[in-house]
Chain A
Amino acid sequence: MKKLAAIILAAMMCTTALTACGNSNNGGGGKADSITVNIWDSNQQKGIQEIANKWTETSGVKVNVEVVDWDNYWTLLEAGASGGKMPDVFWMHSNTAQMYMDNDVLLKLNDYVDKDDKIDMSKYYEGVKNLYTREDGNIYALPKDHDTIALLYNKAIFDKYGVEYPTDKWTWENMYEAAKKITEGSNGEVYGMAMNTSNNQDGWYNLIYSYGGQVITEDHKGTTIGSDESKAGMEMMRKLLTVGAPQSVVAETGTDSLFMSGKVGMISQGSWMINSFYTAENHADYAWALLPYADRNGNGTCEKEERWSAYNGLGWAASAGTKDPDSCYSLISYFCSEEGQKLQAEKGVTMGGMTGVSEAFASAFEGMDIKPFLDAEEFSLYFRPYTKKTTVWEDALQQAGAFLDPWQNPSDPALMAKACDNAQKIIEKAIAEE
């Protein structure tokens, strides 16, 4: 036994030593031969690599785009920032940007941006730009893209139960009626809609905003989630849940899987997920529509401030310790220049971080109309709520003691109102401790 254990241990050590060698980079003062780029979305790898190859044509520096899945991405990046080796160029996200910017592990881009005539900071989406600019005005990442939310529905299910397809005139009430018809028409075999507590940015956050509430106020220092407006939004959410898939179902299977297996008629999803549904087996049945709105003034038409979609954007950042900061910035600048941004949309990678470059994106998915993601911008957009330590309250809101309770028992309106009050306290406490 002991011998065996010793051999296994020794073998393990050898392999860890090997991987350690594999990771060490080939850098060496001055201009680097190649740049390592880390991203977490394998759907985008091909497109990003193609754009990067174009940059290589002029710069002569090779680019290796490596995909690391979301969880490991942040573990690796943090380990790199804590004294290991970081990739040269990588993505930043609103969950973690504050933490990275405050600790000087990212390359400061101000001087480069000032000298660069291809980058005009006023052309980017406000929220994305502000996210990656520190309070003192230092820029740590350039906006890579933006995403919006739309409603995804299964035409086959709508046809089967004789329900009309969602339109751009739909209010949340209409969505409720349709979901009710499907759920009742199928005797619970198929659910009209599904949403988990974890579908926040792509789900219930949007109800709060369309009813006039705010998850995080614009200064990122407070919340109105316990206000009457927010409660009205979440009350609508509660109604939807009474005709949707139960919490125990979505917690075990996940709303995307439920939708793709034909068990659910409608879900809301973000534009970053288009490719998953586009390449799914039954994609011919899938269609997108604008998110419903809340007719708050009761005039029967949708005003700009009655339909809200969350938007978020990634940023291209570089490591402060990179061997070749000039090449890194040059690559970032190419990605974020008008040319790079247009390529990104054309190739169907994502919509741009720059305004007015995304029209080509709508036609990138042949046979699937994804225009609702672009149309959403004609109404109101709010930036994905974040604070310095977003995950602390974001996680708490999804669990027992907050919205998991009413989700579990949607027939009781008092539970939902109480959950909003609890959420207000959770967020306020988390912000106070930041």
Chain B
Amino acid sequence: MKQEAPAAKLKKKKRTKAEKREAIWALCFIAPTIIGLIVLNFYPAIDTVWQSFCKTGYFGKGNTFIGFENYSKVFTASETWHSLWNTIKYALIEVPFGVVISLVLAVFLNKKLKGTSLFRTIFFLPMVCAPAAVAMVWKWLYNQQFGLLNNVFGTDVAWISDPKIAWISIAIIGVWSIIGYNMVLFISGLQEIPGDYYEAAEIDGATGIRQFFHITVPLLSPTTFFIVQTRVIGALTIFDLMFMVMDKTNLALENTQSIVYLFYDYAFTKNNRGYGATIVVFLIIFIMIVTFIMQRAEKKLVYHP
């Protein structure tokens, strides 16, 4: 590393005109993204942290600094912890089921069979639909009176109004929507595994199931880890499903509302931006802790050949 640094410096000085021009053009091309990120992501993120220390006024005027008052309210409110627990419950269903089901599908669809591309498209379709539309359709499928589910199975289950099962119903929508995306990542991971391993295993007489557990799973573990990590973050920030499916007067709302839903409620319905910002900062800290733990676990769990 140390030897490289002066070399790079030297190179910088000796940049030719063409190289300079290239660098300027490169900057121009990424400028929209950089500006977009700064204006749309970085600035609001910093402003959110600032607002979490304020009692906010309307229309961005009259914010007064109040220190950690919002934080002490957020940390002592039972609804914060309840919503966090709801979110974790959701993640506990969405992530494992989303990963396992899509892995199995990916293995099947990676074989050279007729119609694989058709099935790949079908499984990927939920990803193409707008999440709000997906939620609306599922809301009607689950409907107790007119819903397809109850009509087909002849049951009378309040899928989304019964506090005991509503959170599972919501998580099922989450699993359904994410399978296609996970599957595509898995397929690309599978295609990177050299075929030699399988050939050798076959000569040694390994069955398909043994091959799966002893070749596919370990060699795919970097992909799996990537998916798990991104999905955990995705699941912890879930909002649209609860927002679209659950009515405000639904009794099960208390047991399904996610932490981001709680943020929305405070920031936009009750117009208390400062309190809402604090909930978000709380969530960010929680996600950072989870990510840190997972990064540590990565070294043990992921197989590096």
Contact = CB atoms under 8 A, between A and B. Distances in A.
Interface of A: 1, 6, 9-10, 12-14, 16-17, 75, 78, 81-83, 99, 102-103, 105, 196-198, 247-254, 258, 261, 263, 389, 391-392, 395, 398-400, 404, 407-408
B138 to A, nearest CB: 12
Given A13-B36, A252-B161, A408 B146 contact: no
B160 A252 contact: yes
Contacts, number: 90
Contact of A400 (B144, B251, B268): B251
A14 B32 contact: yes
Interface string B22-38: 00000000001100100
Nearest to B247: A251
A391 B271 contact: yes
B58 interface: yes
A250 B249 contact: yes
Contacts of B58: 99, 102-103
Contacts of A251: 161, 247, 249-251
B59 A103 contact: yes
Contacts of B32: 10, 13-14, 17
Interface SS, A side: helix
A12 to B, nearest CB: 8
B192 to A, nearest CB: 13
A83 to B, nearest CB: 7
A252 to B, nearest CB: 5
A248 B249 contact: no
Contacts of B162: 248
A395 B33 contact: no
A250 B251 CA distance: 11
Given A395-B270, A398-B248, A248 B161 contact: yes
Interface in B237-272: 247-251, 253-254, 265, 268-271
B240 to A, nearest CB: 14
Given A82-B61, A251-B161, 9 more contacts: A1-B188, A9-B33, A17-B32, A248-B158, A249-B145, A253-B146, A391-B271, A395-B269, A399-B249
A103 B247 contact: no
11 contacts: A17-B32, A83-B59, A103-B58, A103-B61, A196-B249, A198-B247, A247-B251, A248-B162, A251-B161, A251-B249, A395-B270
Interface in B159-206: 160-162, 188
Contacts of A105: 59
A416 B268 CA distance: 30
A198 B59 contact: no
B78 to A, nearest CB: 12
Interface of B: 32-33, 36, 40, 57-61, 139, 142-146, 158, 160-162, 188, 247-251, 253-254, 265, 268-271
Contacts of B271: 99, 389, 391-392
A253 B247 CA distance: 9
Nearest to B35: A13
A252 B270 contact: no
Nearest to A78: B59
Contact of A249 (B144, B188, B265, B268): B144
A392 B32 CA distance: 40
Kindly list the 6 A-B residue pairs having the minimum CB-CB distance in the complex, ordered from nearest.
Answer: A248-B161, A82-B60, A251-B250, A82-B59, A13-B36, A81-B59
Nearest to A398: B249
Contact of A408 (B40, B59, B143, B251): B251
A13 B33 contact: yes
A300 to B, nearest CB: 36
Contacts of A197: 249
A248 B162 CA distance: 8
Contacts of B268: 75
Contacts of A12: 36
A252 B247 contact: yes
Nearest to A74: B268
B248 A395 contact: yes
Contacts of B143: 252-253
A404 B270 contact: no
Contacts of A248: 144, 158, 161-162, 251
Nearest to A254: B247
B188 to A, nearest CB: 8
